[in-house]
Amino acid sequence: MKLRTLAAGVLVPALAFTAACGGGSEGSTSASGKKLTKVTLTLNWYPYGEHAPFYYGKKKGIYEKHGIDLQINAGQGSQKTVQATGAGQTDFGWADTPALLAAVDKGMPIKSIGVFLQTTPAAVQSFTATGIKTPADLKGKKIAGTAGDALTRTFPAFLKKNGLSESDVQIQNTDPAGKIAAVISGKTDGLLGYASDQGPIMQDKAKKPVSALRFSEFGLNFYSNGLMVGERKLKSDADLVKKMVTATSEAWTAAEGDAAGAVASMAGASEQLPPTKVIDEQFKTTLTLLHTAATKGKAPGVNTEADWKQTIDLFHQAGLIEKASPPATYWQAASAPQG
């Protein structure tokens, strides 16, 4: 569903997000009279279950407590969100780490300030009746994928790790928005997508059980979505960046403790918002992605150099980035959550 294609021309002019112009220098006043800084956050896509903590944090006054008047804007794919964030067209972005790696590799001045989805939701998703339960079951199957995106680029590594070759599975090149339709119509046996996104939507549309063959459960994990900021904003307003990071980590912690309330907080967020039961399923799946073994028990958004290096090395091997630079090239550890 989401346009996660990482085209080579990652430095083409970013989409002009008219509603997402940087707002860090503007101020407002809360109902209690507290002075707030207006801040824009552009998502990776239209709001769906994964984004519940941002709406929950705003509704519960967590961002306000840290002096932030948060405006949440829909995105049009991680690549465009990364571009807009690096260009200063939005104060902060929420996007896929592979898109950030590719952008930095091309010279985009942007940094991660904490990956929150540290276990990839990448998965082969199919109707349960299809019988795809293990990687071996993929042999001879036709899977919908999008040429050039992070999932398609890492799928060969997933196959190799599980004793299969690229020729064992046929990838049907499909527009991101058409992958679900390809499976429902029977043109493909499954799709490459995110278990926290397409699976619940496909199940709701087809009224048939959907299963997800997760990369992370069969030997291949890498960083997914996180909070990012342009280097200009990072240097000019380090205090605001720290407040945003702290508030976001708190919002995710609070939402994890009140999943029903977090889902309810998204009411009216977008005309494209999925049904409540889909949002609920998406958010429940998202909560399984927050940590690796190295960060279990730590606050949301706390990262380690070793986990960053694993992701960087994987995408270097997959050809997504030309150079495997040190984690500090992509990640501002000093600004990220610490505990």
Q: What is the pLDDT of residue 113?
A: 98
Residue 21 pLDDT: 47
CB 101 within 8 A of CB 312: yes
CB atoms within 10 A of CB 140: 9
Token pair listed for 283:
């958010």
- pLDDT of 233-255, one tens digit each? 999 999 999 999 999 999 999 99
* Model confidence pLDDT, tens digit, residues 130-177: 999 999 999 999 999 998 888 898 999 999 999 999 999 999 999 888
Q: Sheet holding 122-127: strands in order across?
A: 170-173, 142-145, 190-194, 122-127, 210-214
**Tokens in use for 279?**
């949002």
Residues with Cβ within 8 Å of 278's Cβ and at least 6 positions away in sequence, in order, are 48, 49, 200, 201, 204
Q: What residue segments make up the domains of the chain, in order of their start? A: 27-119+223-335, 122-218
User: In the chain, pLDDT over 70 holds for what percent of residues?
Assistant: 93
**CATH match of 27-119+223-335 with 3.40.190.10:** yes
Do 122-218 and 27-119+223-335 have the same topology in CATH?
A: yes
Tell me the CATH architecture of domain 122-218.
Answer: 3-Layer(aba) Sandwich (3.40)
For residue 69, what pLDDT band results from cuts at 50, 70 and 90?
very high
Contact criterion met (CB below 8 Å) for 337 and 249: yes
At a CB cut-off of 8 Å and minimum separation 6, what does 274 contact?
48, 49, 200, 201, 204, 282
